Amino acid sequence: MVEVEAMESGIGNNTQSSLNLLVIVLLLVCVLPLPSCAFPNGTETAISTVPDDSAQTNPAVYGTFIAWEDWRPGNQNIYVYNLATGEEYPPAPDFLLMQTAPALYNTTLVWQQLDTGSYTYSIQVFDLASHSLSSVPANPGPDPQYTPEDNCFPKLYEDEIVWQDYHGGDWDIFLYNITTSVPSAIVTGAGDQKHPAIMGNHMAYENWSDPLHPEIWLYDIAGGSSVPVGSGSFARYPALSQTYVVWEDHSGSGSLVFGYSLATGIVSRITPASLTTEQMHPAIAGNTVVVEDYRQSANGAIYLYDLPDGTETWVSPLSGSVIQKTPAIYQDRIVWDDSRSDTSSDIYLLTRGVSESCPAADFSPSVHAGTSPLVVTFTDRSTGTPILHRVWNYSDGSTWYPLDPSGETFSTAGIFHPLLTAGNLKCRNATPGISRNDIYVDSPPSADFFGSPRQGFAPLSVQFTDSSGGEPATWSWDFGDGSVSHEQNPLHTFTTAGGSYTVSLTVNNTFAGMAPGNEIKTEYIRTFLGATGISTLPVEGIVIVPRYGGRFLLYNATLLPDMATPLPSILTTYHPDSAGWQNITFLSRDSSGFSDTFGNTTYMGNLSRVLFQTEDVTAAGTSPRIGTGWGVSYRVGTSGYPSAASLTTEIWENTTSGDQGLFDRLVIGSNFLETASGIAYTARIVKTGLRGNGNATITMSLDHTWLDGREAQTYIIGYGVNSQGDTVGSVTAARHLFHDGDLDYFEAEVPEYFTTFGIAPLAGSGNPFQLITLSVTSHVNPPEPADPVYDPSAGVESGSTTAGGAGTGMVMNPPATPTPAPVTPVPPDPGTSAKVYTNANGVVTQATRLLSTNGRTTMNIGEGVAAKEANGKPLTEISIKALSPGSLPAVPSGSPFTFAGMSYDLGPDGATFSPPVTLTFTLPQAEWGKDYSVHYFDTKAGTWQTLPTTFDAATGTVSAEVGHLSVFALFSQPRASPVTTPVATPLPLPPAPQVKAQPPATAVSIFTSMLGWAADLVMNNAIIPVVVVILAILGYLAAQGRFPGGR
C-alpha cells in the first residue's frame, strides 16, 4: 500500500486558382489585429550544478534555503542549498536509504525516508541552524498510535509537522509539535485521509470516504473540526496559504486547478476555462499560485497565477522538448525541476522582478598537466556583481574548500575536475564542466574542439579550434569529407552542398606514454541544400527625379521593353535588366498616370508608390525529404525608389538550431504543436537600403507529396527585429494559392521587418497572427527612425515607415495617431567581458572575440597581437558596455555627422593593441543614401576623432581598426550624390544597347503581381475602385493571351 501511494504521489513525478486569388484580394479589406504577448521579467538560474547526469527533482523552498531529491549518491537522498552562503550538502547521506518529499519552513527541513532493508517509511527532521537530525518519535499511547513506519508526505508550519500514516488498514493524518508533544492522530475515520498541507491554524487534506470521488477538506487545528471545501470529480493534492486552499481536480477532460478563499468561502477555477489540457501539482504562497501545465507540450511547463487580478504568466518559456514540473514557491522565489541542461533534470530558480545578470564563475590553473606530485595554483577570474560567496571543489565533487593561495597538490594519477561556484541571493553559477579546466596527472590528454561556423552554404570555410585538455603536443584531424590536417587550429573548406560531416580529432603528448585522446562529433558540420538570390538597385533605364514637389518617374522602354500598363496609373516592368526582380510596379495617384508623352518610348509620370517583387529563388538539387523545386518570392512596397539597394534571399532545407528554438517558441506561444514533419525549410530575407511600409508578402512553395493533403494546416512562421530593437515573431495562416506540377504555392502577409521564415503544417486550433516578443533589447540602443523622410533634391526616400508592432492588414482610411504605450523602465546594459590570453610579453596566444550584450558589436583580437594595459602590463581581459545617447559627449554644431544609435565604452580605458584590432558594428538595417563611420572620443582634446572606416552595404557592417580602448560610437552622414536634372526629351541611350532576352512571365506570376497592385492601391487609399482594377487586370491578361486557357 505504501509503495502504491508513493508511486501515485509522483515523488519521482488554375482557373479556379485565379478565382480564388480574386476572392483573396476582395477579402483583404479585413483588418486582422495582432495583439502583443510578452514574457515575464525575472532572474533565472540553475541551482543544482552537478556536472554529471544524476537527476535532481521535487524541490522545496523557504527563505534562502532550497531542498530537493538528488540521485547522485546512486539512490535518492535529500540535498539542501543556502542562497545566502553558497553551502550545499546532504543533511543525512546514506545510499541505503531513499529520502524523498522534502518540505521546508524557517530553518526546519523534513522528509520521508524509506529504509530499503525493512521497507518502512519514517519522518526525518533536520535543523538547518544547528545541523542536528532527529526522527518523529513513536507514540505508545492509545489506538490509533503512531509508530515510525509507513509515514509519508510530511508538511510543516512553524513547529508543527503533519503527514499521512498508514494504520489499521487506512491512511490517517497525524500531527507532531517538535517542541511540546508526541505524535497524535488528528483526522481519522472511514476511508483514507491523505496529502495534508498546513498553514497557521488550518490543515487541508484529501478525504477519500468516497474512494471514487475524493474531496478536499479543511481542518481547524484549534477547534478539532473538519469541513469540505473542494468537491469535484477527483480532487487531489491540496496546497495552503494564509488566504487560499488550492488543489487539482481530475475531470473527464483532464486535471484542472481550483481554489477556495478562506475569507469568502467561495470556490473558483484558477486555470483558464478554455484549457482542455492538464494543470497539476499546484503550490501557493500568499495569493500567488504556480502549477505544472501541459498546454505547450506533453512535457509540461510552469505557469503562475496572481489570484487578486487573475494574471497568468508563463514562468520560463522554453522549447516544448524541455520537461518542467513540480513547482514550489516562497514569496518571489519559484523553483522547479527542469531538463534543459541534459537528459536528466536539474533544479532551477526564478526570482521574480527585474531581470538581472548573474555573476560568471571562472578561474585559471597555473598548469594543466604533469607528473605527480603536481602542485597547481588557481586564480579566481569570476566576473559580475554582486558575488556573495565563492566555493571551490578541487577534485571529486564531494568536499568543498576555500581557495588556498599556496596551491593544491595532486598526488595520484588521474584527471581531476576543479569546480568553482560563485553566487548571490538570486544566482548560482558554476564553472562549466569543460576540459580546459581539468588537471591531468600522469594521464594522456582528452580531445575536444569546436568549429565556426558550423553550417552554411557551400563552399563553407570553417575555422576549427582545439580545446583539448591535458596540454596535447600533436593533433590529427579528420573532417569527414576525405580531408585531414595536423595543425592545431586548421581552417577547412567544405565544398559539397547538402552535406553533413562527422569531424574527429586525435591528440597526444608525452605524459604517461598512454593511448591518445580522441573526440568524434557526429554530423557536426552542415552545408545547406538550398539556394541564394539577390535583387539589386538601381536598374538601368529607370530614373527617379524631383519634379512638382514630388518624385517623377522616367522609364526607358527601349532599354526595358518587357512592360505592361493595364491602367494608366500602373506601370510594371518584368525581369528588368536581370537585376533579380521578377517585376517592379510603379503606382501613381495622379489622374494622368504614366504615359509616353513625347512618343519616344520614355514613359513618365508622378510616382506615388513602388512595389518590388523578387525572382523566385528555388532550391538547387533534390532533397530526399521535401523534394525539389521549392522556393520563395518576396514582395514589398515602398513610398520611394532607392538610388542603391539590394534584397538577398536565402533558402535552406530544415532549420538552424538557433532558428528552430525561436520557431518552437512562436509555435508553442500561439498554442500550436509542430507535427512530426517539422519545418520544411527556412527562408531569410536581408534588405539593405530598401525599407518597406507596413507589411510585405512572402510566397513559399512546398512539394505536394510531402505536404500530403495538409494545405489547410500549413502556416508560415516568421520573426524579425522591429523599430524598437525587439525580436518579435508570429505564426501566420498560409493562404493556399494554387497547385502547379509537383508544388503547392502559399503566401502570407507579414510585417516588413520580419527577416526569417519557416513553413510547416501545424497541429491544433492555435491562435495565429498574434505578435510574440522573443527578446527585448530596445533599452540597449535608441530605436531607429520610424517615419520616411523625402529629400526632393535626391528624389529618393531616406528612411522607412514601420508599424511599430506589426502590420494591421489593410486600412481604408489613414490610421489615427496611436496613444504611446507606457514605457517600462529597464536597467542599463550590464556589459560583458572576455578573457585575453597573453604571454609575459603581452603577446596574444589565443584569438579572442568580444561580443556586446545586444550582439551587434564585436571586437576581434588575433594571435600575435601585442595587447597591453595602459600601465604596460599584459592585457588579461576586455569589456564592452552600451552607452545611452544622453551620456555621450556632444557633436560640435555644424558637423555633418549624426549619431547613428550605437555607442560603447570599451575597457580597460587606455589599453593598446599593436597592430590594431578590428571593431565591427552590425546595423539592424542600414539606411540607403548614408555613409557610416566609427569615431572615438579623445578625452584629452575633448573631441570626437574619426577612424578610417569600411562600410559593407551588403552585410550592413561597419568596421574600423582600433589601436586603443576608449569610448567608440557609430556616426552617419548623408552620402554625396549627383543631382539629376529632369528633361522632356528621350533619355540618352548607351552606344549599341543590347536588350537581353527575358523569359516570358507566367499567367500566375502576372496575375499574382497585379493582384498585389490592387491590394496595394486599397491599402494606400487610391481613388480607383478595387473591382475596376481587377476587371482591368483580367481584360489585360486576356488581350495578351496570358490568361490561363487563353491563346
Nearest to 417 by CA among 400, 395, 444, 432: 395
The verdict on residue 72 lying in a domain is: no
Domain harbouring 503, CATH code: 2.60.40.10
Beta bridge partners of 546: 551
Q: Do both 733 and 611 map to the same domain? A: yes
pLDDT digits (tens, 9 = 90+) for 729-755: 999 999 999 999 999 999 999 999 999
The verdict on residue 745 lying in a domain is: yes
Q: Do both 563 and 660 map to the same domain? A: yes
Q: Which of 528, 559, 591 is the last residue of a domain?
A: 528
Q: Do both 616 and 669 map to the same domain? A: yes
Give yes or no for residue 610 having a pLDDT over 60: yes
Residue type, 238: P
pLDDT digits (tens, 9 = 90+) for 6-32: 333 333 333 333 333 333 333 322 222
The verdict on residue 935 lying in a domain is: yes
Task: Return the pLDDT at 335.
Answer: 96
Q: Looking at 394-403, 594-603, 762-771, which range is the least confident one? A: 394-403
Is the CB of residue 444 less than 8 Å from the CB of residue 509? yes
Give the mean pLDDT of 408-424.
Answer: 88
SS3 614: strand
pLDDT digits (tens, 9 = 90+) for 307-333: 988 888 888 877 667 888 999 999 999
Mean pLDDT of the residues in the chain: 80
* Percentage of the residues of the chain whose pLDDT score is greater than 70: 79
Domain limits for position 785 = 531-797
3-state class percentages of the chain: helix first, strand second, coil last, to nearest 5: 10, 45, 45
Q: Which of 412, 441, 470 is the last residue of a domain?
A: 441
* C-alpha distances in Å from residue 849, one per residue of 451, 832, 878: 14, 12, 10
Q: Do both 578 and 706 map to the same domain? A: yes
Task: Return the pLDDT at 840.
Answer: 85
Peptide bond into 51 cis (omega under 30): no
Is the CB of residue 305 less than 8 Å from the CB of residue 271? yes
**What sign does the CA torsion over 762, 766, 769, 775 have?**
negative
User: Per-residue confidence at 716, pLDDT binned at 50, 70, 90?
Assistant: very high
Task: Return the pLDDT at 435.
Answer: 62
Pairing of strands 36-37, 771-775: parallel
Is the CB of residue 196 less than 8 Å from the CB of residue 205? yes
The tally of domains found in the chain comes to: 4
Task: Give the count of beta carbons closer than 10 Å to the beta carbon of residue 590.
Answer: 16
Is the CB of residue 870 less than 8 Å from the CB of residue 876? no
Nearest to 51 by CA among 415, 590, 378, 295: 415
Kindly provide the residue ranges of all beta strands, DSSP E only, lying in 497-549, ordered along the sequence.
500-508, 517-527, 530-537, 542-547
User: Per-residue confidence at 296, pLDDT binned at 50, 70, 90?
Assistant: confident
Task: Return the pLDDT at 407.
Answer: 81
- Alpha carbons 242 and 261: distance in angstroms, whole number: 10
Residue type, 686: V
394 contact partners, CB below 8 Å, separation of at least 6: 378, 401, 408, 416, 418
Q: Cα–chain-centroid distance for residue 791?
A: 39
Task: Return the pLDDT at 402.
Answer: 66
Give yes or no for residue 343 having a pLDDT over 80: no
Please give the helix or strand (H or E) that residue 21 lies within, else none.
Answer: helix 15-27
CB neighbour class for 629 (10 Å; exposed up to 12, middle 13-18, buried from 19): middle
Is the CB of residue 956 less than 8 Å from the CB of residue 688? yes
Q: Do both 538 and 520 map to the same domain? A: no
- Alpha carbons 322 and 46: distance in angstroms, whole number: 14
Kindly provide the residue ranges of all beta strands, DSSP E only, lying in 273-388, ordered along the sequence.
279-285, 288-293, 301-306, 311-314, 324-330, 333-338, 346-352, 363-365, 369-370, 374-376, 378-380
152 contact partners, CB below 8 Å, separation of at least 6: 2, 5, 6, 9, 101, 112, 121, 163, 164, 165, 166
Q: Do both 544 and 523 map to the same domain? A: no
pLDDT digits (tens, 9 = 90+) for 969-1008: 999 887 654 433 333 333 333 333 333 333 334 444 444 4
Burial 913-924 (b: 16+ CB within 10 A, else e): beeebebbbbbb
Is the CB of residue 125 less than 8 Å from the CB of residue 155? no
Task: Give the count of beta carbons closer than 10 Å to the beta carbon of residue 552.
Answer: 18
The verdict on residue 6 lying in a domain is: no
The verdict on residue 788 lying in a domain is: yes
* Percentage of the residues of the chain whose pLDDT score is greater than 90: 48
Task: Return the pLDDT at 465.
Answer: 94
Is the CB of residue 760 less than 8 Å from the CB of residue 679? yes
Half-sphere exposure of 278 (CA within 13 A, CB side): 11
Is the CB of residue 691 less than 8 Å from the CB of residue 638? yes
- Alpha carbons 156 and 221: distance in angstroms, whole number: 13
Q: Do both 539 and 602 map to the same domain? A: yes
Q: Looking at 280-289, 371-380, 535-544, 999-1008, which range is the least confident one? A: 999-1008
Is the CB of residue 215 less than 8 Å from the CB of residue 193? no
Q: Do both 891 and 793 map to the same domain? A: no
**Cell numbers representing residue 777 in the block:** 533589447
**What length does the chain have?**
1047
Q: Cα–chain-centroid distance for residue 167?
A: 52
Give the mean pLDDT of 771-792.
Answer: 43
**Cell numbers representing residue 621 in the block:** 538539387
Task: Return the pLDDT at 208.
Answer: 92
Please give the helix or strand (H or E) that residue 1007 lies within, else none.
Answer: helix 1003-1019
Give yes or no for residue 143 having a pLDDT over 70: no
Rounded to whole angstroms, the maximal C-alpha distance in the chain is 116
Q: Do both 774 and 635 map to the same domain? A: yes
Give the mean pLDDT of 459-485.
Answer: 93
311 contact partners, CB below 8 Å, separation of at least 6: 305
Q: Which of 933, 959, 974 is the last residue of a domain?
A: 974
Domain harbouring 427, CATH code: 2.60.40
CB neighbour class for 117 (10 Å; exposed up to 12, middle 13-18, buried from 19): exposed
The verdict on residue 933 lying in a domain is: yes
* C-alpha distances in Å from residue 606, one per residue of 94, 571, 572, 574, 898: 86, 12, 15, 20, 32
Please give the helix or strand (H or E) that residue 1009 lies within, else none.
Answer: helix 1003-1019
- Alpha carbons 507 and 1: distance in angstroms, whole number: 56
Kindly provide the residue ranges of all beta strands, DSSP E only, lying in 792-847, ordered along the sequence.
796-797, 832-835, 837-838, 844-846
Is the CB of residue 968 less than 8 Å from the CB of residue 961? no
Dihedrals phi, psi of 360, to nearest 5 degrees: -110, 115
The verdict on residue 267 lying in a domain is: no
Peptide bond into 373 cis (omega under 30): yes
Domain harbouring 961, CATH code: 2.60.220.30
Pick the more confident residue, 764 or 699.
699
**Cell numbers representing residue 551 in the block:** 518624385
Q: Looking at 163-177, 434-448, 615-629, which range is the least confident one? A: 434-448
Q: Do both 638 and 787 map to the same domain? A: yes
pLDDT digits (tens, 9 = 90+) for 801-836: 222 333 322 222 223 333 344 444 556 788 888 889
Give the mean pLDDT of 645-650.
Answer: 96
- Alpha carbons 897 and 555: distance in angstroms, whole number: 35
The angle formed by the CA atoms of residues 2, 6 and 8, to the nearest 5 degrees, is: 115
Give the mean pLDDT of 505-513.
Answer: 79
Give the mean pLDDT of 36-41.
Answer: 38
Give the DSSP per-residue string, 118-183.
Answer: TTEEEEEEEETTTTEEEEPPP--SSSSPP-SSSEEEEEEETTEEEEEEEETTEEEEEEEETTT---
Q: Looking at 271-280, 485-494, 507-516, which range is the least confident one? A: 507-516
Task: Return the pLDDT at 549.
Answer: 64
Most trustworthy range by pLDDT among 347-356, 789-798, 828-837: 347-356
Task: Return the pLDDT at 742.
Answer: 94
Please give the helix or strand (H or E) that residue 660 lies within, else none.
Answer: helix 657-669
Q: Do both 460 and 403 map to the same domain? A: no
SS3 436: helix
**Cell numbers representing residue 1001 in the block:** 512571365
Task: Return the pLDDT at 300.
Answer: 87
Is the CB of residue 725 less than 8 Å from the CB of residue 783? yes
- Alpha carbons 552 and 1017: distance in angstroms, whole number: 18
Q: Do both 774 and 627 map to the same domain? A: yes
- Alpha carbons 953 and 537: distance in angstroms, whole number: 12
- Alpha carbons 247 and 702: distance in angstroms, whole number: 47
Task: Return the pLDDT at 724.
Answer: 84
Please give the helix or strand (H or E) that residue 489 lies within, else none.
Answer: none
The verdict on residue 858 lying in a domain is: yes
User: Per-residue confidence at 514, pLDDT binned at 50, 70, 90?
Assistant: low
| DSSP 8-state code for residue 275 | -
SS3 209: coil
Q: Looking at 93-107, 393-407, 539-553, 982-996, which range is the least confident one? A: 982-996
Task: Return the pLDDT at 325.
Answer: 92
Give yes or no for residue 948 having a pLDDT over 80: yes
Give yes or no for residue 1022 having a pLDDT over 70: no
3-state secondary structure 43-82: EEEECCCCCCCCCEEEEEEECCEEEEEECCCCCCEEEEEE
Nearest to 968 by CA among 871, 842, 879, 892: 879
**Cell numbers representing residue 603 in the block:** 514613359
